[in-house]
Amino acid sequence: MITEINTGLPAMADPSVIQPGDEMYQIVTRLYPICRSITGNGVRQTLQILQDYIPVQIKEVPTGTPVFDWTVPKEWNIQDAWIKDPQGNIILSFKDHNLHVLNYSTPIHKTVSLAELKPHLFSLPDKPDWIPYRTSYYNENWGFCMTHRQLESLEDGDYEVCIDSSLEPGSLTYGECFLPGSTEEEVLISCHICHPSLANDNLSGISLAVKLIQWLQEQPHRYSYRFLFIPGTIGSITWLSLNEQQAFKIKHGLVATLVGDSGRFTYKKSRRGNATIDRAAAHALKHIQLPYHIIDFFPYGYDERQYCSPGFNLPVGCLMRTPHGQYPEYHTSADNLDLVQPQNLTESYQLYKTILQILEGNGIYVNQNPKCEPQLGKRGLYRAISGDNHTKSYEMAMLWVLNLSDGEHSLLEIAEKADIPFEFIQKVAVLLEEHGLLKLQTFL
Amino acid sequence: MITEINTGLPAMADPSVIQPGDEMYQIVTRLYPICRSITGNGVRQTLQILQDYIPVQIKEVPTGTPVFDWTVPKEWNIQDAWIKDPQGNIILSFKDHNLHVLNYSTPIHKTVSLAELKPHLFSLPDKPDWIPYRTSYYNENWGFCMTHRQLESLEDGDYEVCIDSSLEPGSLTYGECFLPGSTEEEVLISCHICHPSLANDNLSGISLAVKLIQWLQEQPHRYSYRFLFIPGTIGSITWLSLNEQQAFKIKHGLVATLVGDSGRFTYKKSRRGNATIDRAAAHALKHIQLPYHIIDFFPYGYDERQYCSPGFNLPVGCLMRTPHGQYPEYHTSADNLDLVQPQNLTESYQLYKTILQILEGNGIYVNQNPKCEPQLGKRGLYRAISGDNHTKSYEMAMLWVLNLSDGEHSLLEIAEKADIPFEFIQKVAVLLEEHGLLKLQTFL
Amino acid sequence: MITEINTGLPAMADPSVIQPGDEMYQIVTRLYPICRSITGNGVRQTLQILQDYIPVQIKEVPTGTPVFDWTVPKEWNIQDAWIKDPQGNIILSFKDHNLHVLNYSTPIHKTVSLAELKPHLFSLPDKPDWIPYRTSYYNENWGFCMTHRQLESLEDGDYEVCIDSSLEPGSLTYGECFLPGSTEEEVLISCHICHPSLANDNLSGISLAVKLIQWLQEQPHRYSYRFLFIPGTIGSITWLSLNEQQAFKIKHGLVATLVGDSGRFTYKKSRRGNATIDRAAAHALKHIQLPYHIIDFFPYGYDERQYCSPGFNLPVGCLMRTPHGQYPEYHTSADNLDLVQPQNLTESYQLYKTILQILEGNGIYVNQNPKCEPQLGKRGLYRAISGDNHTKSYEMAMLWVLNLSDGEHSLLEIAEKADIPFEFIQKVAVLLEEHGLLKLQTFL
């Protein structure tokens, strides 16, 4: 039992076995072609596919429902869209790529001059071969997105444009999966499902949530877990508005997104800045042996904006790889199935799992022999021959746990002070409890 | 209205228009020839000249008045002083430079040998062409200051020395300019007026105070402003002694000095170390885009020594460019009209103004829609087409103000956390208040 | 009186006079040959020699005495030990080096094959010429330690092994020296005395304690001082168990060990992390002008493990040079009289003395003229001619003490803020008190 501590995470990516990331990548691949938006059939279809993997409930909230300062918008659906050039050739088609349409475009079918058309065309001059992703949710408008190369090649003349969409009363659709634990306190995992064919921004987080649900279903857990699959901004506002009291059961939360690219991990702290979720994430990252950095909360980004609004101020952070806007493919057609890779997804999944394990295992134990060290040797917990240095062993973990288990330090705080992975601190705490040297005071 | 934030200060120094520093430099030039000391006609004459610019009151405190542990000293005045060499030639004359006389020298007229004279001569061996500035306020003594080059050239023989001064009962003179605001709480700006022909050390601060008074007279202000033009040490002790209760109305204060050289800015914190003035100065400096550094309080320097004595502990910092003793010209004849430059004065004035604007505008606002973000778009406060990154915009400033306006963060604290200049944070706070999204809880 | 502050410690090591380290080295040399252990005659003999220098009391605690979770072990004594090779030649003898025997070996005399012998032999493969130091206190066992070179040269065959030791009921022996001061509050200096011929690890600390006792005997002191000469771990557990209430009189403490090598100083903080002893040690180190570093408490090392167990949590740090396990000679025959040097011992002694002087002199004084500075000049405490910069003078020390003596800052805190050695801060505090400008509120 007395061995060196392996300070890394559980070994990752044995190439001969199926990794979690392989299954996650399959989900990403399956969902990639669907044209999602903040409402509409694309979201419903996405959630129906997820029901093949997890018990997710599909909820509908009618257009016009007031949700805090907002109103649930009209439902948007689209069948097709295209542009014909002056010669009548289709030069751009929704069927080729759903990013070609300004998301939430109103229906239109008319012929316009190039000059009239141009204000409705969006491209990326510095990335001339990529299609941008643009939306116009709350200002009725229509438009097309195309490569800048194509935009520049357009000749004068009349263009026939068609967007066969509808923007009508309907509902906002979201998914919710609740896994009751032994307590009513909740951990929230929230991901957005409103982006069309964008793989990292949206699908990677969805696949991670699915995998975490499957893992949690296989074992007992103290916390109840709530997973939300929601359209960005309006989805979290809607859920918070309809579940205002429920929201305060959330003790820890993470917004899961952008977890499939190969960039270093980025943890964006909750607004509180020193919540347990912030410390658990920082601790897990410190020992993951992969590059990472931690940033303070700022009121922009994903749905943490709403969870961390001052009236809620929930302990919800955002754990991603490269943040939004910081990788060149962000919000373009290049955020595709090449950008996301199974190995990256596996690493992200392992990291999330480690964090949840910390939350599950964290508690305060009390040393039952607080005056001087207990004699570990007579209990078979110590080496027989003394003489070497061994600052990274189970023994050191035991000494740390005994020294700091004064009723004021949680296991996570002990792991932080000892600079030893939580997993080992927790293991020796359980061992010392079995030997009567520690007593659990409370889980946290 | 939605535009990028210009993170610099208001533009400085358009060469075609008269800058504040030009007018300040004229004041410095006009005051430079006067022989000031901690008492006497030099101070009176200085203050009378200032009355050409600002409504400054001239106060007289009789010799012998007890002021805490001190006593107002005798008044010192000087008409002339000179040294004649053994051949009877005048080799040094007060009329050439008022630094030639040990400040507060008692009257003398006699002939002494070089050996007797030498203990009364002061020079700077390592700066052989500069005249040092020396004083002997509280030990009656007489003496001359000269270049080291001249000192070394003195030949043996008898020297006739004459100091036509008087040290007699009279009064200590100081100036006070009070600008009442809408509240009784005060901001103190204190500068010393006791140095003879020294331009940076003394005159630059005086000219800055004059310019700030002129600016404040042109507009409404919440705070009442008290400007003191006082002899160093004994002046602040005298004012504090005679205005002990009044002193506790001071909520923020700055000692203004050494603002005309070209060195980087130095802010010396108040003894409290984290007073609002300390944070306002640090914030203004962070965004000024000129070199600066911030140092902790220490009990030496200018009149902050008295304002920050433990019995007062007022929130008074000292904002200068190169600190005393840290530029070679300090306390020598080289601290002259060449060392001080209009552009430097302009920058210093702008910085002080920015700090006062922060003090004036700082308050706590409360978000009226604290649960989730309010919908800015429907109020015309948000871009129509979404998709780009824009972390330095009015929108970001709005999101920061909304997120942190929970009744616990002042605008200055929000500006610090957001790392956005206070000016913009304040602007969007006022805009959000106009739209009913914020409510002013209290000015600070 | 107004002179520059010499920021170093009192001058060290004038080669023409006997230094403290010379006398300490003599003690180390005298004690080096003795075979100590956690019990037995080696400890008694060691303490009897110390009685030649200091009034140390020798205490005996019977085998079997329960001490918290532990029991005082049987007493171990040894007369001789050897190994004969298959040819009957003595190849290893306890008389050559007492490290040759596994400390606490049970008696044995038999002939064994090399294969049977090998599990009882200990060596250091990567330091083939050094004998390791190994113990087996709490698991009855026997064994020999030898150089790896010798171990590798052993040929097959039968070896006669003899350990003429006894492990029988007896007692645990320790030494205690108590120097009453003017208060009952105590400073603890604890050193271990359980290592056989190891010079730095054990003897250097003992010699330091002796020298500090001699110094304290020569002068009055506020604190009572308790010096413990104890076997590691079981000794401190025994003392704490038998003196549980007494222990809470300890206001400051240091574990003294490893003070004779030439490495930089290492201060390991108490578990509290910001106790006065931690600040006093950090302050003394900052001004010693020798390399050092400061580390946080961790629950391994020397008897601070017991003093800082959560049920006691005493403010006891550990001040050493190179920490245990971090110099190659640690726990080997190379930790000998060459590793320890008089100059190193002198420096360590001076540092400890400086820390004790800080503890003795630390107090809170109150400025009797808190409103503005008092006029130092009229009391002869200030220079006559003003004009130079002098931030490192007695004057600056006076200004700091006056400014911060508001009843909330101790002299040590003032010394820290001023970055001036405590010695000078204390000197000017006493001077200012003599002039009626300060009043002692309380010693700390």
Question: In order of start, what are the domains of chain B with their CATH numbers?
Answer: 20-72+171-360 (3.40.630.10), 75-168 (3.50.30.90), 362-443 (1.10.10.10)
Chain A positions touching C140 (Cβ under 8 A) are none
CB contact B26 to A (< 8 Å) = no
**What do you get for the CA distance between the two ends of chain C, in Å?**
28
**Which segments in chain B show pLDDT lower than 50?**
1-4, 6-11, 387-391
Measured between CA atoms, the residue of chain A closest to residue B417 is A298
Residue A265 CA to residue A258 CA, distance in Å, equals 10
Residue B358 CA to residue A290 CA, distance in Å, equals 43
* pLDDT at site C383: 67
Among C372, C377, C396, the residue with its CB nearest the CB of B306 is: C372
* pLDDT at site A170: 98
Q: How confident is the model at residue A388 (pLDDT cuts 50, 70, 90)?
A: very low
Query: DSSP state, B48?
Result: H
Chain B positions touching A296 (Cβ under 8 A) are 417
Contact: C311, A399; criterion CB under 8 Å:
no
What value, to the nearest 5°, has the Cα angle with vertex B180 and ends B176 and B184? 110
Residue C402 CA to residue C413 CA, distance in Å, equals 13
Chain A positions touching C322 (Cβ under 8 A) are none
| Percentage of residues of chain A with pLDDT beyond 90 | 91
Measured between CA atoms, the residue of chain A closest to residue C325 is A389
Phi, psi at C369, each rounded to 5°: -130, 65
The full length of chain C comes to: 444
DSSP of A240-269? HHHTHHHHTTEEEEEEE---SSSSPEEEEP
Contact: A387, C298; criterion CB under 8 Å:
no
User: B280-311 pLDDT, tens per residue?
Assistant: 999 999 999 999 999 999 999 999 999 999 99
* pLDDT at site B207: 98
* B96 three-class SS: coil
Among C68, C136, C299, the residue with its CB nearest the CB of A403 is: C299
B138 closest CA partner among B41, B24, B234: B234
* pLDDT at site B23: 97
Segment A370-379 shows an average pLDDT of 94
Q: How confident is the model at residue A44 (pLDDT cuts 50, 70, 90)?
A: very high
Query: DSSP state, A155?
Result: P
A126 marked as part of a ligand binding site: no
Measured between CA atoms, the residue of chain C closest to residue A406 is C310
User: A85-101 pLDDT, tens per residue?
Assistant: 999 999 999 999 999 99
User: A402-412 pLDDT, tens per residue?
Assistant: 999 999 999 99
Residue C83 CA to residue C99 CA, distance in Å, equals 14
CA distances from A63 to A72, A114, A196, A248, A303 (A): 5, 35, 21, 26, 21
Residue B304 CA to residue B254 CA, distance in Å, equals 8
Residue of C37, C38, C70, C123 for testing the chain A interface, max A β-carbons within 10 Å = C70
* pLDDT at site C16: 73
Residue of B365, B366, B369, B372 for testing the chain A interface, max A β-carbons within 10 Å = B372
Residue with tokens 């189970």: A394
Segment A223-247 shows an average pLDDT of 97
Strands C224-230 and C171-179: antiparallel
Contact: A375, C236; criterion CB under 8 Å:
no
CB contact C391 to B (< 8 Å) = yes
Question: What is the torsion angle, in degrees rounded to the nearest 10, for the CA atoms of residue A44, residue A45, residue A48 and residue A53?
Answer: -130
* A332 three-class SS: strand
Phi, psi at A163, each rounded to 5°: -125, 110
Token readout for A314 is: 């929930």
**ipTM of this predicted structure:** 0.92
State the chains in contact with B (3 or more Cβ–Cβ pairs under 8 Å). A, C
Among A69, A300, A305, the residue with its CB nearest the CB of B369 is: A69
Are the beta carbons of C37 and C102 closer than 8 angstroms? no
Token readout for C368 is: 């009797």
Chain C positions touching A378 (Cβ under 8 A) are 138
Indicate the average pLDDT of chain A.
94
Contact: A70, B400; criterion CB under 8 Å:
no
Residue B299 CA to residue A324 CA, distance in Å, equals 49
Query: DSSP state, C306?
Result: H
Distance from CA of B148 to the nearest CA of C (A): 16
Contact: C68, A384; criterion CB under 8 Å:
no
What value, to the nearest 5°, has the Cα angle with vertex B94 and ends B89 and B100? 100
Q: With left for phi above 0 and alpha for psi between -120 and 50, is residue A137 left, alpha or beta?
A: alpha
Distance from CA of A309 to the nearest CA of B (A): 5
- Which residues 71-100 in chain A show a CB within 8 A of chain C? none
Among A138, A240, A299, the residue with its CB nearest the CB of B377 is: A138
Contact: A372, C311; criterion CB under 8 Å:
yes
Are the beta carbons of B28 and B337 closer than 8 angstroms? yes
* pLDDT at site B392: 53
CB contact B406 to A (< 8 Å) = yes
Measured between CA atoms, the residue of chain C closest to residue A386 is C135
Chain C positions touching A375 (Cβ under 8 A) are 69-70, 138
Chain A positions touching B370 (Cβ under 8 A) are 309-311
Contact: B369, A70; criterion CB under 8 Å:
no
**pLDDT by residue, tens only, chain C of 444 residues:** 334 454 444 445 566 788 999 999 999 999 999 999 999 999 999 999 999 999 999 999 999 999 999 999 999 999 999 999 999 999 999 999 999 999 999 999 999 999 999 999 999 999 999 999 999 998 899 999 999 999 999 999 999 999 999 999 999 999 999 999 999 999 999 999 999 999 999 999 999 999 999 999 999 999 999 999 999 999 999 999 999 999 999 999 999 999 999 999 999 999 999 999 999 999 999 999 999 999 999 999 999 999 999 999 999 999 999 999 999 999 999 999 999 999 999 999 999 999 999 999 999 999 999 999 999 989 988 765 554 444 457 889 999 999 999 999 999 999 999 999 999 999 999 999 999 999 999 998
User: A136-148 pLDDT, tens per residue?
Assistant: 998 899 999 999 9
CB contact A370 to C (< 8 Å) = yes
Question: Where would I find the H helices in A82-133?
Answer: 114-117
CA distances from B284 to A336, A424, B227, B294 (A): 44, 48, 21, 12
State the chains in contact with A (3 or more Cβ–Cβ pairs under 8 Å). B, C
CB contact A406 to C (< 8 Å) = yes
Chain C positions touching A402 (Cβ under 8 A) are 299, 309-310
Segment A412-430 shows an average pLDDT of 96
* A38 three-class SS: coil
B92 closest CA partner among B198, B195, B163: B163
Residue C208 CA to residue C50 CA, distance in Å, equals 12
* pLDDT at site B14: 61
* pLDDT at site C13: 52
* pLDDT at site B11: 47
CB contact B310 to C (< 8 Å) = yes
* A292 three-class SS: strand
Which residue(s) pair with A166 in the sheet?
A77
Distance from CA of B303 to the nearest CA of C (A): 10
Residue with tokens 């002997």: B136
